[in-house]
Structure 1
Amino acid sequence: MAFVVGQGGKKSVVASAAKKWKDFKSTLSRHYILPYTNDKEKLSQPPEIYKFIEKAQWDAFVASRLSKDFESVHSQHAQIREKLEYNHRLSRKGYAGLEDQLEETMPGVETDRSTLWKRARQDKHGNIPDPKVAEKAKLIDELQKQVSEGKVRVDGSKDVLTMALGPEHPGRLRGVGAGISPRQYFNLPKP
């Protein structure tokens, strides 16, 4: 079986497949290997839910996840994860799902990056439990008010979210989700 993918879509399809493969390996590690590092019996067979994994493949995967190299990389990434300041609460929905949800609940209202960023960090009751995030959300509200009153001017990439959080990292954009570059977001017409 083959799929015909257009010239421009091949890169995104391969990137998507690579991410799904990485996520699958991460799920196996987090749920079926790392909790049972001292229980060799549990690690001797692939999980029942993943019967398609052959024993030889499973044994090699378990050995790779219990190696010193993996332990080192795993701890490095855990340290990086701890440094993230403004954690979102979107789960699988992502920014695209949040934007769709906001369009349903508030039809006709244009949602900008700062609104999405704030809503992505609220719990289901609309509260922001993290004090650092709450402080930035308050600053965003103040800046949005100043923009609506004409006291502050937004221009392209110098929008409310950038003013509140600081400059963007090169090639990435906060508050819009994966796969959207600054050039795409700021230079293309909005629908």
Structure 2
Amino acid sequence: MQKVRRENYLAPKIMSLISDSLAKRFLLQSLGKKWREHRIKLWNEFYDPRLSKTKIINNTPEDIALDQWALFVEYRLKPETRNLCKRNQEIRQKQIIPHTSGAKSIARRRAELTEEKGKEVSRVQMWDITHKKIDGSYVNEKAKEIAEKIEAYSSQQAVESTVNSPLDALGVVLGKEHPRRIRGLGMGAVLTVAFKNNTTRISQMNLDSSNDADTSSTCGPNVQDELDTVKAQLQALVSYIPSKEGGKIPVKLAGMFPTHLI
């Protein structure tokens, strides 16, 4: 089933039951993922390199129309598709740090852990959890090395942060996020949404220098250190977003930040 056809067929049936835009995004991504996995399973089951294209087409799965199966076989046997599959296979082989979440999505596991612990589980904690074996050891030496760097960075912070941020320990150690996904948060997470609560909370602070002086005189050293860290993160975030948005902060995001920083 083609992407456009899938969305046109399924969306009206399901979207009427869902009002939240994030849930809609997650649902479509989940459907897409399951459909890709199903296509791979079909091809692995019915493809035989010893058979001709005609014979493969004639061996049509029971629940698939002949014309759709013929188009699918034609697509899979194209040189461009073969090259793409080979390239993706090579990329997967370069992924040297496997996670241990298994078939359960990271988003689902994070939700379960949050309910179990009674507080939100940060993406830093999720990365650590999903790269450990049952016995508590890391999946390999590379994962252990990264975990030690994350721990070293976290130990230098005045206050342990549970706020997801592009400048948290995970972001500092592993670098910039992929535009369409975020480490430790699972399917459906995007930069402008996952880090929104952090920036919205920060934008409500008055960061003028005059108020800085007042804050310094009324806050303890730990609170002041945390405030300084938050301000540094805000400034870095203001610089980071334009790099992903063509040099400008989108109008819909501008309201999150104090005007003197934009």
Q: 1:103: which partner in 2?
A: 114
| Percent pairwise identity | 25
Contact 2:110–2:185 (Cα < 8 Å) also in 1: no
Query: Does the CA contact (< 8 Å) of 2:121 and 2:162 recur in 1?
Result: no
Q: CA deviation at 1:166?
A: 1.9
Q: Which amino acid aligns with 1:98?
A: R
Q: Which residue of 2 aligns with 1:30?
A: 44
Considering only aligned residues, what root-mean-square deviation do their CA atoms show, in Å?
3.5
Higher helix share: 2
CA positional deviation for 1:75: 0.6
Aligned match of 2:135 in 114, 118, 125?
125
User: Which structure has the larger Rg over C-alpha atoms?
Assistant: 2
What corresponds to 1:173 in structure 2? Answer: 182
Instruction: Tell me, in whole angstroms, the C-alpha distance in 2 between the residues paired with 1:179 and 1:113.
Output: 14
Describe the shift of the 1:15–1:144 C-alpha distance in structure 2 as closer, same or farther (beyond 3 A): closer
Q: Is contact 2:100–2:130 with CA below 8 Å preserved after alignment?
A: yes
Match of 1:163 in 2: 172
TM-score (norm 2): 0.56
- Shift in Å at residue 98 of structure 1? 2.0
| Cα distance, 1:153 vs structure 2 | 8.2
Q: Which residue identity does 1:62 align to in structure 2?
A: V
Deviations 1:81-136 (A, max 9, x none): 2233433222221112221343355x235421111011112223322222111110
TM-score (norm 1): 0.74
Q: Give, in angstroms, the shift of residue 179 of structure 1.
A: 1.5
Partner in structure 1 of residue 4 of structure 2:
none
Higher mean C-alpha displacement, 179-188 vs 2-11:
2-11
In the alignment of these two chains, the number of paired residues is 182
For 2:29 and 2:160, how far apart are their aligned partners in 1? 39
Q: Which residue of 2 aligns with 1:89?
A: 100
Letter paired with 1:38:
R
Shift of 1:173: 1.7
Letter in 2 for 1:177: G
Residue ranges of structure 1 left out of the alignment (5+ in a row): none
Q: Secondary structure at the match of 1:188?
A: helix
Does the 8 A contact of 2:127 with 2:184 survive in 1? yes
User: Which piece of structure 1 moves more, 8-17 or 62-71?
Assistant: 8-17
**Cα distance in 2, alignment partners of residues 85 and 178 from structure 1:** 21
CA 1:132–1:183 in 2, change beyond 3 Å: closer, same or farther?
Answer: same
Question: Out of 183, 194, 197, which is 1:188 matched to?
Answer: 197
